[in-house]
Structure 1
Amino acid sequence: MGLTAKGANLVSGEDTTLNEIKKGKIKLVIISQDASDNTKKKFIDKAKFRDIDYVIFSTKFELGKAIGKNERAVIGIKNINLARQIKNLIGGEAFDENESL
């Protein structure tokens, strides 16, 4: 994901990701397992409403570390090809927090 961040194909943080979802620029939403229930619900609902794939994966610490930043509860992937590759690597289909990889 670090390469994705360098290429401006990724946004992180709740506000920025939400704005980019509303603009129709996000192809995959990655939500941390330890995000608050409210955050999970908000981003799952937004993703479903806009027919955007999402995964719940890893921790805020690990997501932030993967992109060279502090903790991040939410990451949005803008490039469709990278979104597909990441989704395939971390779990394939969209799933919720009650399912396992």
Structure 2
Amino acid sequence: MIKNKRQTMNLLGIARRAQKVVSGEATVLKAIQTQSVRLVFLAQDAGSATSKKFNDKCAYYNVPLNQSFTKLELSQAIGQSRTVIGITQSGFARKFEELLAMD
């Protein structure tokens, strides 16, 4: 489990460097609505309003949502302080789903 978590964090950093990540609430929300995001990471410790907003939007637009990580972990993975991160490429999204399914 810890190995998969570390691999997921490493892959997030790679996806960011490959510019296949959108981050920040407004940016990710817009990407969900335009259906240009394939997977959303939302911090476990996000506020209740933020959690509800992204849970509802992801459910409505049928975008997978993952809440396995804290804000600190997500921020360290991409090098920016963020609560929500969207993955825009389907290949990266598929790999994340494989890693997270192994947990």
- TM-score tier by shorter-chain length is 0.7 to 0.9
Answer yes or no: is 1:78 the counterpart of 2:91. Answer: no
User: Where does 1:1-101 land on structure 2 (aligned, <5 Å)?
Assistant: 1-70=12-81, 72-91=82-101
Question: Residues of 1 paired with 2:101 and 2:23: CA distance?
Answer: 20
TM-score by length of 1: 0.84
- CA-based RMSD of the aligned residues comes to 1.3
Question: Quick one: which amino acid aligns to residue 78 of structure 2?
Answer: I
Question: Residues of 1 paired with 2:83 and 2:48: CA distance?
Answer: 11
Question: Residues of 2 paired with 1:8 and 1:25: CA distance?
Answer: 13
Structure 1 segments of 4 or more deviating over 4 A? none
Question: Residues of 1 paired with 2:79 and 2:52: CA distance?
Answer: 26
Map Cα deviations across residues 30-70 of structure 1 (whole Å, 9 max, x no partner): 11100011111110110110111111121111101101112
What SS does the aligned partner of 2:22 have?
Answer: strand
Of all paired residues, the percent bearing the same amino acid is: 37
Task: Looking at secondary structure, tell me which structure has more helix per residue.
Answer: 2
Unaligned runs of 5+ in 2: 1-11
Partner in structure 1 of residue 4 of structure 2: none
Partner in structure 1 of residue 9 of structure 2: none
What SS does the aligned partner of 1:51 have?
Answer: coil
Partner in structure 2 of residue 97 of structure 1: none
TM-score by length of 2: 0.83
Alpha carbons 1:26, 1:76 under 8 Å: kept: yes
CA-CA distance at 1:88 after TM superposition:
2.1
Number of matched pairs: 92
Unaligned runs of 5+ in 1: 93-100
